[in-house]
Structure 1
Amino acid sequence: MVVGFVGLGVMGRPMALNLLRSGTGLVVWNRSPAAAEELGRAGARVAADVSEVFAAADVVLLMLASEEVIHDVLGRGTSRFDAMVANRTLVHMGTTSPEFSVRLSRDVARAGGRYAEAPVSGSRPVAEAAQLVVMLAGDEGVRAAVSPVLQPLGRAVVETGGVGSALLTKLAVNLFLITQVTGLVEAFHFAAEHGLDLETFRRVVEEGPMVSTVARAKLAKLLDGDYEVQAGAADVLMNAELIVAAGRRAGLATPVADVCRDLFAEAVADGWGDLDMAVVLEAVRERSRVRRVGAAVRA
């Protein structure tokens, strides 16, 4: 089977490389050509455009940045879209609202194609190590056909049910991730501002019940002042906004997610969006600075 892969960004690039390493025949396309050329050197066929990917592959994986990008790249609502997806299986692997995925699945079905959504849990290093958790939703027959294609990407492919359920699961998992990392960042800031030895703080965290792979990775970044991107702050903000919006639609309170969303919005507004989510520390620092200035003025 030849598999298509569209979208070779922070996550898509290592995912596509792992498919190649597993022996999957791959045809790729990316909006910026440099990443596609790298995959070409690794053995993938580089398509001239998206239509060529669909013409060459029975299953096409999309790892695109947003709903708007997916709409533009696929040309939804045009005859080009209908011609591309007819008799093909389209697998949406990015993070969007579940409602967008449901609408996209209907468009694909009307054009005579098949559809699955398969968002992933994990950051760039996790993708590089082929340790992602893939959440797979769609009709039962489509899930059965797509699951083996996705196996080389991670430690598990977890089927969640019908279209929309995988993205809701992803948002629930990301709510936990975002609030966990933001809490760790605030704890790190609290320890630093009280003059504690930060290596001692790290040791206590890593020896205690709160330790996790994520905590270890982000603590290392915080201690080193290293904001090289693993999960970008702008992407985290997008996820937080999707989480809050999904909660509002369901009539749910998301008080912790609301605060995290606001902090990441501040970090992105201050120009930190292209850096790792650990950079939300800068938003916490700025809030502390504003509080101290306000206290000094009141005094």
Structure 2
Amino acid sequence: MSNVAVIGLGIMGLPMAINLVKAGHTVTGFNRSQDKIDKLVSEGGKGATSIADAVKDADVVITMVPDSPDVEGVVSGPDGVFANAKKGALWIDASSIRPDVAKRLSDQATAAGIRPLDAPVSGGEQGAIDAVLSIMVGGDAADFEAAQPVLNAVGKTIVHVGPSGSGQTVKAANQLIVAVNIEVLGEAIAFLEAYGVDTDAALKVLGGGLAGSKVLEQKGQKMLDRNFDPGFRLALHHKDLGIVTSAAREANVAVPLGAVVAQLVAATVNQGDGGLDHSGLFKQVLQLSGRK
């Protein structure tokens, strides 16, 4: 088993760290808020007083923070991961960031003697709790193999998708698909409700056919209940759609549906709902339809 440092103990990072403890790894966590560190300690992990303290003895360092600048902030500088992790350590960035930033940081990690993998995840909070995340991994194939014991402790579908930056590119595509699915599911539910259909029954039969999806399975009931407690916040999906639309423009790829949904997500966030689960995009659908 490995000594693993986890930097970022939020909605996703904390359950991932706890599952690593359950798998038998020695896990040291660091977070800006002490209560998350205390929770990890109560589950058998260790707490650190700084990033440097967390990574000094780590065989594997996992970062799980919100955005590209946050990743740069925790890995760079004299107090960051690159300056304090031991040579040969694996760095697994599970955050969702820009592919070009992932590639640049991987080059910096390699120069510092650290083995980088970009390994963003999909599955939301429940997937992290249940250790069934889908993990798309970019980086060297040998480093991917070396990371298997750690990745297997937090995920179920774990695929090496190419060189550094590839994991983040696949994650951007994932977020495009999920956002469009959430939007169209919300439109379908608003449509069903307008006609007074038994929506529970409708979603059951829709879920058994070609319209079935993980989005319908996990988000349909939340929309029916108007329960948007965050498993993955709209503000983060807004960030991810910005990555998608920017990267698509650079590659001269048209994403017309993605662009429309990106604007609807942006409007929802700008109206003060960024802290809601991304299924809260349904609120925008209802507002556009004059419904509640």
Q: TM over 0.5: same fold?
A: yes
| Contact preservation (8 Å) 1:86, 1:108 | no
Deviations 1:62-119 (A, max 9, x none): 0111111122223x2x344442145132111100011000111111122222211111
SS in structure 2 at match of 1:252: coil
C-alpha separation between the residues in 2 aligned to 1:79 and 1:199?
55
- Aligned ranges 1:238-253 → 2 under 5 Å: 238-253=239-254
SS in structure 2 at match of 1:116: strand
| 1:48 corresponding residue in structure 2 | 49
| 2:84 corresponding residue in structure 1 | 84
Letter in 2 for 1:46: G
Offset of 1:21 from its aligned partner? 0.8
C-alpha separation between the residues in 1 aligned to 2:51 and 2:240?
26
TM-score normalised to structure 1 length: 0.92
| 2:155 corresponding residue in structure 1 | 154
Letter in 2 for 1:236: H
Whether 1:212 aligns to 2:213 is yes
| 1:278 corresponding residue in structure 2 | 279
C-alpha separation between the residues in 1 aligned to 2:46 and 2:113?
26
C-alpha separation between the residues in 2 aligned to 1:278 and 1:80?
37
| 1:8 corresponding residue in structure 2 | 9
| Contact preservation (8 Å) 2:51, 2:79 | no
| Contact preservation (8 Å) 1:85, 1:112 | no
The farther-off stretch of 225-234 and 189-198 is 189-198
TM-score normalised to structure 2 length: 0.94
C-alpha separation between the residues in 2 aligned to 1:241 and 1:194?
35
C-alpha separation between the residues in 2 aligned to 1:154 and 1:73?
23
Offset of 1:139 from its aligned partner? 1.5
C-alpha separation between the residues in 2 aligned to 1:79 and 1:153?
30
C-alpha separation between the residues in 2 aligned to 1:223 and 1:281?
10
SS in structure 1 at match of 2:108: helix
Letter in 1 for 2:237: V
Offset of 1:37 from its aligned partner? 0.6
| Contact preservation (8 Å) 1:2, 1:59 | yes
- What is the count of residue pairs matched by the alignment? 288
SS in structure 1 at match of 2:97: coil
| 2:174 corresponding residue in structure 1 | 173
Whether 1:57 aligns to 2:61 is no
C-alpha separation between the residues in 2 aligned to 1:114 and 1:233?
32
Offset of 1:284 from its aligned partner? 1.6
Tell me: CA distance 1:79–1:217, structure 2 relative to 1, closer, same or farther (3 Å): closer
Whether 1:142 aligns to 2:162 is no
C-alpha separation between the residues in 2 aligned to 1:276 and 1:110?
38
Percentage of pairs with the same residue: 30
**Which of 1 and 2 has greater Rg?**
1
C-alpha separation between the residues in 2 aligned to 1:243 and 1:119?
14
SS in structure 2 at match of 1:195: coil
Deviations 1:149-195 (A, max 9, x none): 21111112211121011111111122111111111011111222333
Offset of 1:205 from its aligned partner? 1.4
Tell me: CA distance 1:148–1:289, structure 2 relative to 1, closer, same or farther (3 Å): same
| 1:260 corresponding residue in structure 2 | 261
Letter in 2 for 1:101: A
The farther-off stretch of 189-198 and 129-138 is 189-198
C-alpha separation between the residues in 1 aligned to 2:11 and 2:177?
21
| Contact preservation (8 Å) 2:52, 2:85 | no
Offset of 1:197 from its aligned partner? 3.0
C-alpha separation between the residues in 2 aligned to 1:143 and 1:101?
16
C-alpha separation between the residues in 1 aligned to 2:189 and 2:219?
10
C-alpha separation between the residues in 1 aligned to 2:243 and 2:146?
29
C-alpha separation between the residues in 2 aligned to 1:23 and 1:165?
29
C-alpha separation between the residues in 1 aligned to 2:59 and 2:23?
18
Offset of 1:241 from its aligned partner? 1.1
C-alpha separation between the residues in 1 aligned to 2:243 and 2:213?
25
Whether 1:107 aligns to 2:101 is no
C-alpha separation between the residues in 2 aligned to 1:131 and 1:174?
18
SS in structure 2 at match of 1:231: coil
C-alpha separation between the residues in 1 aligned to 2:197 and 2:12?
36
